[in-house]
Amino acid sequence: MSSSSSSPVARLQAPLTQQWLDLALKTHELLLSSGLVIGMRTGRMARAGLAPSADDLAEFQLMGQEKLEAASESGIAMARQWHSSHFSLANRVLQQWLQSTTAFFSLAGSVTPAQAAAHGDAFVQSAADTVDAASELPAIAADIARQGLTPIHAAATSNARRLSGLEES
């Protein structure tokens, strides 16, 4: 079967599947980096014991600060993405609702069978457009999750690289 004859559902699912796959891969990379960072920092805490050096104290303080910054950036990024997506989708749904209402009343006011057929087609198309608008929700959810994951992923992978470099020296 050629790609030009694939169903609309298959064409919609391909980019959506890619979005969620990318998100899953980023999450996996985040988890691996976090595990590495946790292991290195826990080892450093154990080695420092009750008498941490100035460098140890600075690293321990940085730990908390980085978590707060990444969580704050993540929340802000998710809120921005949600707001822009929500506004866009709400606008589209409102347009679809108005079109559906107009199409319904045109269908109800049809006098001839030809008018009823034409208005019926418009009503069905409007209903299909409403379903199309609703089908954007999973992609919007993936975008929101991706925006939220980005700062946390960046902090974790950056820490893993930085701390790995420190351990090698």
Instruction: Give per-residue pLDDT as tens, 100-113.
Output: 889 999 999 999 99
DSSP letters for 66-127: HHHHHHHHHHHHHHHHHHHHHHHHHHHHHHHHHHHHHHHHHHHT--SHHHHHHHHHHHHHHH
User: Model confidence at 168, in pLDDT bands (50, 70, 90)?
Assistant: low
Q: Is 33 exposed, middle or buried (0-12, 13-18, 19+ CB in 10 A)?
A: buried
CA distance 101 to 98: 5
Q: What is the pTM of this model?
A: 0.68
Place of tokens 């269908």: 107
User: pLDDT per residue over 71-82, tens digit each?
Assistant: 999 999 999 998
